Chain A
């Protein structure tokens, strides 16, 4: 068993590369999904039925489809329409689009419980448009939604593992590669498990500090 772990240690470059890919992919997807979510949420709450209806269908649709299936559709299905993406791009696209729906729901939930008066005060004091959004609306919204967004981020990391299916060189793929070449399944995968756990703890630490910042203002 120690010997197995020694083999894994020798392959640490591959493993760390996988970890970096997982972290980078997840972070990019999370940010992109959040930005898309900020566009979707007003659409969800729009008074125009066509807009809110379309947005709701998208959100409900993404929540009813398994991510792995959606990733397959993006990777294998898009070429039917002439759009051929490499595995990194389609993986990122799938993660982003899929989680944008969840981010939109999270943001909507956070928005609904925001008190309106401070925002009205912002308007009364001359804030408008982008400045109003950036300095008056956004900060309390993010502080309130922080923990839930953090949870979604963990979900994104776990979904990214599915992309091993399309041969994306993320962490699980790296562990699989090591185990299939050296026959050290336990050592390889348990190391991957600990690395995922580590990522998760980092995010939870981040969420805790956001929680503390929010608590001081509550």
Chain B
């Protein structure tokens, strides 16, 4: 395995990290939006969201990606591999995020909300200044966990031809007839990223426990 091979895998890493970040950044607010729709119990919206989340959480990412990549052009929406990948990642992660946000919303102490109402805050203010900061805090470990899970499913992008870490490694293996070394390099790239996120999650959890103990 030559230096240029390793460079190719690193280039794949850039793709992995970039697409993951885009997926995370878009998926977070969408997940929050879905959770709010369910929490507010909007008449039709809540039902649709429940169905959507339930199905997306049950659907393998690879199946979803293939569905989007092949079906969208079929109904007249042209799509390239990268866009299909981002769309699949966002749909998937937003569904899981939704559950994390929803749990935080459901456990939100109602009296704080009522206190905000009684001092005359309007809905938008109430949400921005009272509810949001606290549910962000509570949701943080779960959301970081979701991020680490997202990184771990990005190899699926290889299925539609996006050259991420995995596809780069597999391609080199096919060219050199030595599949194992590039795969191990790939592991060496994924592991630190995931490990960093898992450690971050544990650190956040420890800090939160300590903060609660001090309170």
By a beta-carbon cutoff of 8 Å, the part of chain A in contact with chain B is 60-61, 63-69, 72-73, 76-77, 79-80, 154, 157-162, 164-165, 171-172, 175-176, 179, 183, 185-186, 189-190, 192-193, 196-197, 199-201
B198 CB to nearest chain A CB (Å): 7
Please determine whether A73 and B180 come into contact, CB atoms closer than 8 angstroms.
yes
Please determine whether A161 and B67 come into contact, CB atoms closer than 8 angstroms.
no
Known: A66-B152, A185-B74, A196-B58. A73 touches B64 (CB 8 A): no
Q: Is the C-beta of B97 less than 8 angstroms from some C-beta in chain A? A: no
Please determine whether A193 and B180 come into contact, CB atoms closer than 8 angstroms.
no
Please determine whether B194 and A175 come into contact, CB atoms closer than 8 angstroms.
no
With A and B bound together, what is the CA distance between A67 and B33 in angstroms? 30
Q: What are 27 sample pairs from A and B whose C-beta atoms fall under 8 A apart?
A: A61-B191, A64-B190, A65-B190, A66-B151, A69-B187, A73-B187, A76-B180, A77-B183, A79-B179, A80-B179, A158-B60, A162-B62, A162-B155, A172-B66, A175-B63, A179-B66, A186-B67, A186-B71, A186-B75, A189-B70, A193-B55, A193-B59, A193-B64, A196-B58, A196-B63, A200-B54, A200-B57
Please determine whether B60 and A186 come into contact, CB atoms closer than 8 angstroms.
no
A69 CB to nearest chain B CB (Å): 6
B72 CB to nearest chain A CB (Å): 9
Q: Which residue of B lies closest to A203 (CB)?
A: B58
Q: Which of A60, A76, A160, A200 contacts B183 (CB 8 A)?
A: A76
Q: Is the C-beta of B48 less than 8 angstroms from some C-beta in chain A? A: no
Q: Which residue of B lies closest to A80 (CB)?
A: B180
A109 CB to nearest chain B CB (Å): 14
With A and B bound together, what is the CA distance between A216 and B14 in angstroms? 52
Which 10 A-B pairs rank lowest in CB-CB distance, beginning with the nearest? A161-B60, A185-B70, A200-B58, A189-B67, A186-B71, A68-B155, A76-B179, A158-B60, A77-B180, A185-B71
* Residues 62 to 91 of chain B near chain A (Cβ within 8 Å): 62-64, 66-67, 70-71, 74-75
Main SS at interface, chain A: helix
Q: Which of B55, B166, B170 contacts A66 (CB 8 A)?
A: B166
Please determine whether B198 and A63 come into contact, CB atoms closer than 8 angstroms.
yes
Sorting the interface of chain B by its residue count into under 10, 10 to 19, 20 to 34 or 35 or more gives 35 or more
Please determine whether B195 and A64 come into contact, CB atoms closer than 8 angstroms.
yes
A216 CB to nearest chain B CB (Å): 25
Chain B 184-212 per-residue mask, 1 if CB under 8 angstroms from chain A, else 0:
10110011001100100000000000000
Q: B198 to chain A: which residues have CB within 8 Å?
A: 63-64
Q: Which of A64, A65, A172, A186 contacts B63 (CB 8 A)?
A: A172
With A and B bound together, what is the CA distance between A77 and B178 in angstroms? 8
Known: A68-B166, A69-B183. A196 touches B59 (CB 8 A): yes
A186 CB to nearest chain B CB (Å): 4
With A and B bound together, what is the CA distance between A185 and B184 in angstroms? 34
Known: A64-B190, A66-B154, A165-B159. A197 touches B58 (CB 8 A): yes
Q: B156 to chain A: which residues have CB within 8 Å?
A: 68, 162
A84 CB to nearest chain B CB (Å): 13
Known: A76-B179, A76-B180, A77-B183. A63 touches B60 (CB 8 A): no
Q: A158 to chain B: which residues have CB within 8 Å?
A: 58-61
Q: Which of A80, A157, A185, A197 contacts B54 (CB 8 A)?
A: A197
